């Protein structure tokens, strides 16, 4: 199995606080990997560095073995790397349809096409159908419940037909029924062959979903492996209980 | 039906505009109806202080002249509108005055910046445009037939009074070196340039030459730079407050040139001493076109009426007020001579001869530039005295300037 | 053509037909003059709306490009005798394009920052432009101003050509604004306003999109500036690049409804004539600035979204209620849990 | 060379006063992400208050600084509750427009009361100077500098040592965390805004002794203050003070040789900063994501 994403020695600090400390791991192609750690352990910062939202202080990031010198979110999306955010970021002023249309990659010439072309419309309707959002298609996204915004954000992320999806705590602040729906979508996504890296701070969800789990604590990688093994790792127990 | 609502809104706006239009076009022209004079003044905004002093001049003329029976036996009515110191509004105002209110005459606004575009509008409709202040060279270069600057001398002559005086001195008494410093202003820069040309030709050495911006000026370093050049004479193209600041900076820097000339500001008998301190005014030169004690036609009456109407004393009368009053005075004379309100004839008359006024006899060249000269004044014994030309002098000039106290 | 588009087209044709008829119906100079300034502010507000309303960037330097356009036309025609009074109108087209192109490098520099930083830096652009206009007096005449060749139009209909040219410019910028709002490009601008970082994460080339909107805004603003210069015939730095005009444009856009198609136009038609009219009739009221500030605050607090969206929402609610009443009680099945 | 050094000295003296004005702007930005365009008009307001105190009550502007600060603090708190607290959405952008409206409102009121003529607080020592090493140091500019430094020192002491100061600093560094720690952000913002306005007015009281001013002087001043805040990095008071000194010196030196271009030096520096360090000297990038 080749590594789709490799992170080597990535460090990021804010002022004096080291948020990510020489972090090294890799995500195998086609895998569903979990990234776990207590609050403030640098998971989101690491995501931001990988997806180009923050410049790293040192270290390198490789995609398909290719070194990415200066990660840029736009470029990465077009390379098939998509992500979600901790607090579902959607465009509340736009309709659901427009939210999805926006995420369909557009070439230069398509800039002047009307916002939602006929071909796009089919894909959008399909996505809305899958996520059960069809009845709200022409409502403004701001009218959605939080769980629905999560679904919409997830759906949006998939419009670019990504190969690697980074999900930042997709189940945070969502009711149990919605958690189940989201878990099913993640599983289905994985089954279509997409590589998934999932940030979570709740172990049980990762246990149910992931093949491999990576554990961060205070910015540093402390364990890596199948969920069952990681769960018994003393360092992990320390990080979770010792604090 | 959103679309129709919107359309109705537009129709509504047009309807309002239309009704306003129709209501205004009912002006009567009976023989005893008043003579309406339209003026746009900067009553708010950047130029509002000068705008208001001009307004006083216009209103004073109106009440004085109406008491005498008005113009051609008709009462004078002023229609003064505000342009908020904006040229767009000034242009609109003159358009409104001429084409909507169909005023009989228009008088000029304050500030060159509004004069040029406004004069063009008046020219388009054939109205005479007597202007109280600030005919910048570029306005004159437009060669407008209808434009008249109601001052004794062209704006660039402010400095020429000073050059005539200095060059009238015997060569060995003249200053040897000169520093030029000027505000970045439409007519001060070219006025200083005229002085420079004259002094350079006379062999006076130019040791410093600079221009400073209109805002946020820290005078101390500027004066330090001038002092470092050690000139005998400083020619300062100042406007008003900047001359006060410059004097104060000179005192602070202990820099005392032998000859110190300010184009404006120092001639302001009300504000100059209070702002720079009475002890610091001695020996400073400036130029002016009008002063309260001047023996010119109607001047005594003007000063008396001013004090009666607005209070205070003669030294507080602004030159702006006198200039505005002059316009009324001259135009009244011209209209009485023509015998009708006919702008074409008024323009022709103004061009054809000298007209008496509180600022002396006025006449203009083809571009509306006055052909007279200004008076050179100096602070002597705490009083502003006319020192040149000798025919008008009230006191002999005192040079070199005494040191700061 | 969908119903909505059709209604929009009818509305646009109606409004422009009325505006086209105006100078022929009301021939008084002063009406056409005020209408000209109304149109000018409409062009400026619609152009500003492209970057300020659609993309949500508080761009405080656009009036610098108004001045740039004014100087460009005035310098071009300063010494050229006008064989035809219409020549400068046509010269506006290359000037507008050139200004749009010139603005691109500046956009690349400015758009590195966002939100309040962008606002501050864009205000700095305005101040810098003004300083250059004042100080490069060989080119701009400095504080003495710059006059341009007098328009050789007959006095009776003097304002009409300017009015019609400004109307054409308004039609052009409105078409541009409408087309962009309908296009993928507009969608991207709205997304940038909503959440620029998220948009980047969805493959939107935010920089390119912003720069294009910026260049369009500057180009149209410059053309309006050129036309203004030709009309007023005399330009000074402090009036060609006046911060107060800048904020007036923003106020108009907010009043009408920022980010909407007709909002800026409505705001301009309400405020621009009102300003001239009140200055003329109330003349001399020192409360002018205070009243202006109060109006500004009222709009910000009580009509933050502007007239057009507020009225549209009200009508939509009204219509929905009417529909509900007409069809009797209905299960609330529209909303999905 | 002599002139150059003299320019630097005057620049530092003036930079101190600008530093006082700009530090309030930076503080307000730090706490509540409000860019107060009315900061400059509050400087002018302070100048007018000192002018009135001087001409009517014959109180020296140096002494008037304290009561003016207190009055303007209350004024600032009032402005906060009336106009800034109600802004909920889009605070960063809307606050610019709202504070602009406040600025022109105050400008209009000043115009009504004082007219638009230029004024100047002409104290007896306005034209005094003393010589140090061949340089004529204007007494009034030195006093203005010393007063500004004293107020900044007091402000720093307050921020370091008092409970209120800690709350203000916490709010500046991380508003969300500060709220979690039990800081009443609303009250802290009001106090912070009050302090911002009162520093502006205090600086204005001494500014009026150096410069002539009228109600619309604030347009030029706000450009300078914003340039300082951009250079210093938004929200960093230390950055604002250092930037004020740097820009004061640059502008003063440029002014001696090329007076017309002095103001450009302020904005030129902003453009250079933007090219190489968009977050300013001491700031952190303001686009950092959650």
Mean pLDDT per segment of 10 residues, for chain A of length 243 residues?
Answer: 83 81 87 83 85 88 88 90 88 91 82 79 90 89 89 91 90 85 90 90 81 83 84 78 52
Residue B106 · residue B129 · CB < 8 Å: yes
- Shortest distance between the Cα of C310 and any Cα of chain A, in A, equals 15
Q: Look at residues D168, D223, D215 and name the one whose alpha carbon lies nearest to residue D196.
A: D168
- Tell me how far apart the alpha carbons of residues B282 and D125 are, in angstroms, rounded to a whole number: 19
Contact check, Cβ <8 Å, C194/A115: no
> Is-contact B198 B163, C-beta < 8 A?
yes
Instruction: Grade residue C337 by pLDDT with cuts at 50, 70 and 90.
Output: very low
Buried-state track A146-178, b at ≥16 Cβ within 10 A, e below 16: ebbbbbbbbbbbbbbebbbbbbbbbbbebeeeb
Least confident piece of the model among A137-141, B245-249, C40-44, C289-293: C289-293
Q: What is the predicted pLDDT for the residue at B11?
A: 42
Percent of residues, chain D, with pLDDT higher than 90 = 42
What pLDDT score does B178 carry?
95
* End-of-domain residue from the set A115, A143, A171: A143
Residue of chain C minimizing CA distance to D107: C289
With a cut of 80, say whether residue C323 has pLDDT above it: no
Nearest Cα to Cα of residue B281 among B363, B366, B378, B372: B378
pLDDT beyond 50 at B26: no
Distance CA A156, CA A84 (A): 9
Range 89-148 of C in CB contact (< 8 A) with D: 109-110, 112-117, 119-121, 123-124, 127-128, 131-132, 134-135
CB proximity list for C116: less than 8 A, separation 6 or greater: C58, D29, D33, D35, D92, D93, D95, D96, D234, D286
CATH number at residue D101: 1.10.3470
Q: What is the mean pLDDT of residues C86-95?
A: 93
Check whether domain C3-304 has CATH 1.10.3470, yes or no: yes
Instruction: Classify domain B157-288+375-388 at the CATH class level.
Output: alpha beta
CATH no. for B3-153+293-352:
3.40.50.2300
pLDDT at B20 over 60: no
Spell out which residues of chain A touch residue C175, defining contact as CB-CB under 8 Å: none
Residues 6+ apart with CB under 8 A from B122: B94, B98, B106, B128, B129, B146
Number of structural domains found in chain D: 1
Rounded to the nearest 10 degrees, the angle between the axes of helix B87-95 and helix C263-281 is: 70
Across B238-345, the runs of DSSP E, i.e. the strands, are 259-262, 285-288
Residue B2 pLDDT > 60:
no
Is the model more confident about B168 or about B89? B168
Question: For the CA atoms of A229, A230, A234, A235, what is the dihedral angle to 10 degrees?
Answer: 150
Task: For residue C33, list chain B residues with Cβ-Cβ distance below 8 A.
Answer: 91-92, 95-96
Q: How many CA atoms lie within 13 A of B207 on its CB side?
A: 18
C201 touches chain A (CB under 8 A): yes
pLDDT band at B90, cuts 50/70/90? confident
**Reported confidence tier of residue C336, pLDDT bands at 50, 70, 90:** very low
Q: Among all residues of chain D, which has the CA nearest to that of B217? A: D211
Mean pLDDT across chain B, nearest whole number?
Answer: 84
| Claim to verify: residue A95 and residue A85 sit in the same structural domain | no
Per-residue pLDDT, averaged over D194-217, amounts to: 91
Give yes or no: residues A169 and A113 share one domain: no
Q: Which H or E run contains B125?
A: none
Determine the pLDDT at residue C330.
45
- Partner residues linked to B362 by β-bridges: B355
Q: A225 to chain D, minimum CA–CA distance in Å? A: 29
Residue C333 has pLDDT above 50, yes or no: no
Q: Which residues contact D184 (CB under 8 A, 6 or more apart)?
A: none
**What pLDDT score does C3 carry?**
63
Query: What is the count of structural domains for chain A?
Result: 2
Looking at chain B, the domain(s) classified CATH 3.40.50.2300 span 3-153+293-352, 157-288+375-388
- Is the model's pLDDT at D279 over the cut of 50? yes
Of the given ranges (A195-204, C285-294, D10-19), which has the lowest mean pLDDT?
Answer: C285-294
Q: What sign does the dihedral C264-C269-C274-C275 (CA atoms) show?
A: positive
DSSP state of A222: E
Q: What is the DSSP string of C196-228?
A: HHHHHHTT--HHHHHHHHHHHHHHHHHHHHHHH
**Between A20 and D76, the higher pLDDT residue:** D76
Per-residue confidence band for B335, with pLDDT thresholds at 50, 70 and 90: very high
* Mean pLDDT calculated for residue range B251-255: 90
C111 and chain A in contact, CB less than 8 A: no
Q: Hey, are the CB atoms on D259 and B248 less than 8 Å from each other?
A: no
Q: If you count them, how many residues does chain A have?
A: 243
* Chain C touching partners, 3 or more CB pairs below 8 A: A, B, D
Q: Identify the top-confidence range among B280-289, C281-290, D270-279.
A: B280-289
CB atoms within 10 A of CB D57: 8
**Residue from B92, B100, B144, B214 whose CB has the most chain C CBs within 10 Å, to mutate:** B92
Q: Residues B261, B378: contact at Cβ < 8 Å?
A: no
Question: Which tens digit of pLDDT belongs to each residue from C191-203?
Answer: 999 889 899 989 8
To the nearest whole percent, how much of chain C has pLDDT over 90? Answer: 43
Peptide bond into B147 cis (omega under 30): no
Structure tokens at C168: 């054409």
Last residue of a domain, one of A143, A159, A177: A143
Maximum Cα interatomic distance, chain C, rounded to a whole number of Å: 75
Upper half-sphere CA count for residue A43 (Cβ side, 13 Å): 26
Q: Is the pLDDT of residue B199 over 80?
A: yes
Spatial separation of the C-alpha atoms in residues B10 and B69, rounded to whole Å:
48
Query: Does A226 share its domain with A148?
Result: yes
Is the pTM for the entire model greater than 0.90? no
Highest average pLDDT, of C72-81, C146-155, C298-307, D72-81, comes from D72-81
Asked if residue B304 has a cis previous peptide bond (ω within 30° of 0), the answer is no
The residue segments making up the domain with residue A164 are 3-90+144-239
Distance to chain C for A131, nearest Cα, Å: 12
Assess whether pLDDT exceeds 70 at residue C1. Answer: no
DSSP state of C334: T
Q: Is A86 on the interface with D (CB under 8 A)?
A: yes
Question: What phi-psi label fits residue D35: left (phi over 0), alpha (psi between -120 and 50 degrees) or beta?
Answer: beta
Q: Which residues contact D189 (CB under 8 A, 6 or more apart)?
A: D31, D32, D80, D84, D85, D171
The number of beta carbons lying within 10 Å of the beta carbon of residue C48 is 25
**B345 has a pLDDT exceeding 60:** yes
Percent of chain D with pLDDT over 70: 96
Alpha-carbon dihedral of residues A191, A197, A199, A203, nearest 10 degrees?
A: 60
In chain C, residues with a C-beta closer than 8 Å to the C-beta of A85 are 198
Q: Do chains A and D meet with 3 or more Cβ pairs nearer than 8 Å?
A: yes
| Token pair for D197 | 């306005």
Note the pLDDT tens digit of each residue in D112-134. Answer: 888 777 788 888 887 888 888 88
């Amino acid at each position: 199995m080749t590594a789709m994403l490799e992170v080597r020695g990535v460090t990021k600090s804010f002022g004096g606080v080291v948020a990510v400390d020489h972090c090294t791991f890799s995500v195998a192609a086609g895998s569903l990997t979990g990234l776990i750690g207590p609050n403030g352990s640098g998971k989101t910062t690491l995501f931001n560095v990988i997806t180009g939202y923050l410049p790293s202080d040192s270290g390198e990031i490789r995609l398909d073995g290719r070194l990415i010198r200066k990660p840029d979110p736009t470029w990465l999306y077009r390379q098939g790397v998509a992500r979600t955010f901790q607090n579902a970021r959607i465009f509340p002023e736009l309709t659901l349809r427009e939210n999805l249309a926006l995420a369909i990659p557009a070439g230069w010439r398509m800039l002047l096409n009307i916002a939602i072309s006929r071909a796009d419309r089919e894909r959008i309707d399909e996505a809305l159908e899958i996520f059960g959002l069809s009845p709200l298609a022409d409502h403004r996204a701001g009218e959605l419940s939080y769980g629905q915004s999560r679904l919409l954000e997830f759906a949006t992320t998939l419009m670019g037909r990504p190969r690697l999806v980074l999900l930042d705590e997709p189940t945070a602040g969502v009711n149990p029924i919605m958690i189940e729906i989201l878990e099913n979508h993640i599983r289905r996504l994985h089954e279509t062959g997409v590589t998934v890296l999932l940030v979570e701070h709740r172990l049980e969800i990762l246990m149910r979903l992931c093949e491999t789990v990576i554990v961060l604590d205070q910015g540093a990688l402390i364990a890596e492996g199948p969920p069952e093994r990681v769960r018994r790792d003393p360092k992990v127990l320390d990080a979770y209980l010792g604090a | 039906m959103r679309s129709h609502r919107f359309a109705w809104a537009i129709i509504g706006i047009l309807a309002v505009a239309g009704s306003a239009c129709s209501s205004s076009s009912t002006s009567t022209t009976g023989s005893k109806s008043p003579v309406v004079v339209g003026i746009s003044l900067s009553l708010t905004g950047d130029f509002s202080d000068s705008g208001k002093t001009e307004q006083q001049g216009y209103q004073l003329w109106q009440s004085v002249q109406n008491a005498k029976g008005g113009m051609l036996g008709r009462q004078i009515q002023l229609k003064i509108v505000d342009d908020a110191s904006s040229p767009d509004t000034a242009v609109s105002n003159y358009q409104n005055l001429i084409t909507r209110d169909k005023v009989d005459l228009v008088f000029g606004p304050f500030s060159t910046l509004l004069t040029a575009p406004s004069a063009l509008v008046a020219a388009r409709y054939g109205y005479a445009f007597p202007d109280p202040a600030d005919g910048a060279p570029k306005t004159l270069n437009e060669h407008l037939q209808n434009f008249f600057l109601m001052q004794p001398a062209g704006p660039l002559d402010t400095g020429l009074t000073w050059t005539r005086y200095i060059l009238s001195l015997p060569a060995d008494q003249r200053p040897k070196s000169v520093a030029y410093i000027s505000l970045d202003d439409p007519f001060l820069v070219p006025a200083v340039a005229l002085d420079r040309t004259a002094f350079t030709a006379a062999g006076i050495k130019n040791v410093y030459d600079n221009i400073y911006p209109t805002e946020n000026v820290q005078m101390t370093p500027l004066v330090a730079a001038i002092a470092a050049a050690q000139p005998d004479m400083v020619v300062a193209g100042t406007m008003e407050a900047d001359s006060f600041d410059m004097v104060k900076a000179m005192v602070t820097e202990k820099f005392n040139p032998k000859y110190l000339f300010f184009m404006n500001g120092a001639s302001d008998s009300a504000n100059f001493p209070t702002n720079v301190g009475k002890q610091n005014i001695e020996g400073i030169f400036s130029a002016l076109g009008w002063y309260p004690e001047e023996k010119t036609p109607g001047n005594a009456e003007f000063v008396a009426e001013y004090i009666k109407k607005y209070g205070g004393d003669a030294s507080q009368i602004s030159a702006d007020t006198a200039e505005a009053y002059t316009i009324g005075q001259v135009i009244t004379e011209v209209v009485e001579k023509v015998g009708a309100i006919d702008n074409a004839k008024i323009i022709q008359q103004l061009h054809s001869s000298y007209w008496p006024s509180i600022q002396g006899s006025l006449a203009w060249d083809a571009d509306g530039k006055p052909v007279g000269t200004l008076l050179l004044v100096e602070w002597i014994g705490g009083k502003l005295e006319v020192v040149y030309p000798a025919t008008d002098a009230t006191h002999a000039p005192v040079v070199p300037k005494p040191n700061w106290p | 053509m969908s119903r909505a588009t059709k209604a929009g087209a009818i509305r646009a044709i109606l409004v422009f037909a009325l505006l086209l008829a105006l100078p022929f119906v009301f021939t008084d100079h002063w009406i056409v003059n005020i209408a000209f300034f109304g149109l000018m502010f409409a062009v400026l507000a619609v152009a500003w709306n492209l970057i300020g309303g659609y993309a949500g960037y508080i761009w405080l330097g656009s009036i610098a490009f108004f001045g740039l356009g004014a100087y460009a036309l005035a310098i071009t025609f300063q010494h050229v005798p006008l064989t035809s009074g219409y020549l400068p109108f046509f010269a506006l087209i290359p000037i507008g394009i050139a200004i749009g192109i010139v603005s691109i490098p500046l956009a690349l520099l400015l758009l590195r920052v966002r939100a309040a930083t962008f606002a501050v830096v864009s205000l700095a652009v305005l101040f810098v432009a003004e300083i250059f206009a004042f100080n490069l007096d060989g080119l701009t005449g400095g504080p003495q101003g710059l006059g341009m060749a007098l328009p050789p139009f007959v006095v009776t209909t003097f304002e009409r050509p300017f009015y019609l040219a400004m109307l054409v410019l308004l039609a052009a910028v409105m078409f541009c604004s409408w087309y962009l709002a309908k296009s993928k490009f507009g969608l991207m601008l709205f997304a940038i306003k909503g959440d620029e970082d998220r948009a980047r994460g969805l493959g939107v080339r935010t920089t390119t999109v912003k720069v294009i909107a910026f260049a369009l805004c500057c180009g149209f603003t410059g053309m309006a500036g050129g036309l203004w210069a030709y009309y007023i015939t005399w330009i000074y730095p402090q009036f060609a690049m006046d911060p107060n005009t800048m904020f007036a444009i923003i106020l108009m856009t907010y009043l009408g409804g920022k980010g909407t198609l007709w909002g800026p136009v409505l705001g301009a038609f309400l405020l621009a004539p009102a300003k001239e009219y009140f200055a003329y009739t109330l003349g001399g009221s020192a409360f002018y600035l205070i009243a202006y500030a109060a109006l500004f605050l009222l709009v910000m607090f009580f009509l933050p979204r502007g007239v057009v969206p507020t009225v549209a929402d009200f009508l939509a609610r009204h219509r929905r209620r009417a529909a509900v009443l007409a069809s009797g009680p209905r299960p609330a099945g529209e909303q999905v849990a | 060379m002599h002139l150059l050094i003299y320019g630097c000295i005057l620049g530092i003296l003036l930079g101190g006063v600008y530093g006082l004005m700009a530090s309030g702007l930076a503080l307000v930005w730090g706490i509540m992400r409000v860019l107060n365009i009315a900061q400059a008009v509050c400087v002018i307001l302070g100048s007018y208050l000192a002018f009135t105190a001087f001409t009517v009550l014959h109180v020296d502007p140096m002494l008037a600084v304290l009561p003016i600060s207190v009055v303007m603090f209350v004024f600032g708190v009032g402005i906060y509750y009336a106009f800034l607290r109600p802004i909920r959405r889009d605070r960063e952008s809307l606050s610019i427009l709202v504070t602009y409206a406040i600025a022109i409102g105050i400008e209009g009121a000043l115009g009504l009361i004082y007219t638009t003529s230029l004024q100047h607080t002409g104290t007896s020592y306005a034209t005094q100077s003393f010589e140090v090493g061949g340089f004529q140091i204007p007494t009034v500019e030195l006093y203005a500098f010393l007063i500004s430094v004293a107020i900044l020192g007091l402000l720093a002491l307050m921020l370091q040592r008092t409970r209120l100061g800690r709350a203000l600093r916490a709010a500046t560094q991380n508003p969300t965390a500060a709220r979690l720690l039990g800081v009443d952000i609303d009250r802290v913002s009001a106090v912070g805004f009050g302090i911002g306005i009162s520093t502006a007015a205090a600086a204005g009281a001494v500014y009026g002794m150096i410069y002539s001013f009228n109600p619309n002087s604030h347009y030029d001043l706000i450009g300078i203050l914003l340039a300082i805040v951009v250079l210093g990095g938004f929200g960093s008071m230390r950055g604002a003070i250092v930037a004020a000194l740097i820009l004061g010196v640059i502008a003063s030196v440029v002014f001696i040789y090329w007076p017309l271009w002095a103001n450009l030096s302020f904005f030129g520096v902003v453009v250079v900063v933007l090219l190489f360090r968009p977050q300013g000297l001491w700031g952190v990038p303001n686009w950092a994501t959650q």
